[in-house]
Amino acid sequence: MTVRAITIDFWGTLLFDSPASDNRYKTRRMKDFETILAGAGVRVSASALDRAYEASGSYLGRIWARHRDVGVEDHVRAIVGAIDGDLAARLPADLLAALVDAYARPILAVPPTVDDGASKALRTLCGLGYTLAVVSNTMRTPGATLRRLLEQYGLLACFAHTVFSDETGVRKPDPAIFLGALRALGADPARAIHVGDDAILDVEGARAAGMRVIAIPNSAYPPELEGLRAADVTLDSIAELDQAHDRRRQLAKRGGIRIAFRLPGIIGGDVGNDRLFKRFTSGAGSGRRADRYRPQTARAAPTCWRPSRRPNCRPGCSSSNSWQRRRRRHRNAHHHRRRRTPARRRAPASNRAPGSS
């Protein structure tokens, strides 16, 4: 069954942020909160705002633990409510809008880094006819701001749809967020792939939704290898999606043969072929890195190693990941061992020419 849709995680897959970023954003947010509230006649100390910020984190953590989410307005009300419960209930609309803007915009001043190969890989996938979507959880920064980041990096146009947990109210690994994105794309889960970095949120969540999974572990937060075993493919970066397709096209021009590389077997079309998946992922999704399957070292699997000498060889006789083992098994299965020319026998002494040794 041909793949039609690919959903991609945001944090840790497309964009990367350092562990200290939240403290940096927190400082900027609370300074702006202090200024805005002071302009509205509410005097709040910096220490009180810090305590309120931490209290709002506990509130959000309890919600996120149930795989649910709330909008950014509820984040702001939680902070203000920890300072003054009555004030949170009677926040004017203009004051709430100003606080929400101050809460959401710090990431734009110091944006996270983007994967170097993301732009080329996404544009290649779009050019090949795949429908792309973002499916991601949000933390403090809302999805509306994350879209501005994608636009800033020139990536937003590659996606037909973007889904963020603060807007849907559901967080990964709940399969509902994946299924909602696929409904918006008009795609079936069996014909879709999810690309993400987290073994639980992305791999388990997408599997529960009935999707195939490509795992790209984040080196800053390396997941447990056991959790990656359920992924169909494990890559080093999103740029390898583009490299795999480039290699596939090069081999196709040489004769339309299949490449012995795991990724094209999934994205290239035949995702319903269990035999193909077993061949390319030995051991129920071994979770091995893609270093051994990089496009530049991939080998083609021709129907016969020496067709001119073996015209009756059956097609598709190779059945191993290693091309050396395939060649050896091919010879053993079809009795195509190289013929050895017998050494020349020396003539009997009685027939030798005079003077020969």
Model confidence over 305-317: pLDDT tens digits?
444 344 444 445 4
**Percentage of residues of the chain with pLDDT beyond 70:** 65
Residue 310's pLDDT is 42
Q: What's the pLDDT band for 102 if we cut at 50, 70, 90?
A: very high
Residue 88's pLDDT is 85
Higher pLDDT among residues 74 and 223, named by residue: 74
Q: Quick one: average pLDDT of 330-343?
A: 56
Higher pLDDT among residues 110 and 101, named by residue: 101
Cβ atoms < 10 Å from Cβ of 130: 19
Q: What is the pLDDT of residues 141-163, one digit of tens each?
A: 999 999 999 999 999 999 999 99
**Percentage of residues of the chain with pLDDT beyond 90:** 52
- Which CATH number does 1-17+113-295 carry? 3.40.50.1000
Residue 251's pLDDT is 39
Q: Quick one: average pLDDT of 114-131?
A: 91
Task: State whether residue 263 is helix, strand or coil.
Answer: helix
Residue 38's pLDDT is 94
Q: What's the pLDDT band for 2 if we cut at 50, 70, 90?
A: confident
Nearest partner of 135 among 189, 181, 176, judged by Cα: 181
Residue 74's pLDDT is 96
Rounded-to-integer distance, Cα 81 and Cα 52, Å: 8
Domain ranges of the chain: 1-17+113-295, 18-109, 301-338
Mean pLDDT, all residues of the chain = 77
**Which stretches within the chain are classed as H helix?**
21-39, 46-64, 72-83, 85-89, 93-104, 106-109, 118-127, 143-152, 165-168, 175-185, 205-208, 225-228, 239-253, 262-267, 274-280, 323-334
Q: What is the pLDDT of residues 27-86, one digit of tens each?
A: 999 999 999 999 999 999 999 999 999 999 999 999 999 999 999 999 999 999 999 888
**Given a cut of 60, is residue 121 above it in pLDDT?**
yes
Q: What is the pLDDT of residues 277-308, one digit of tens each?
A: 333 333 333 343 333 333 333 344 444 444 43
Dihedral angle of Cα 167, 91, 149, 238, to the nearest 10 degrees = -40
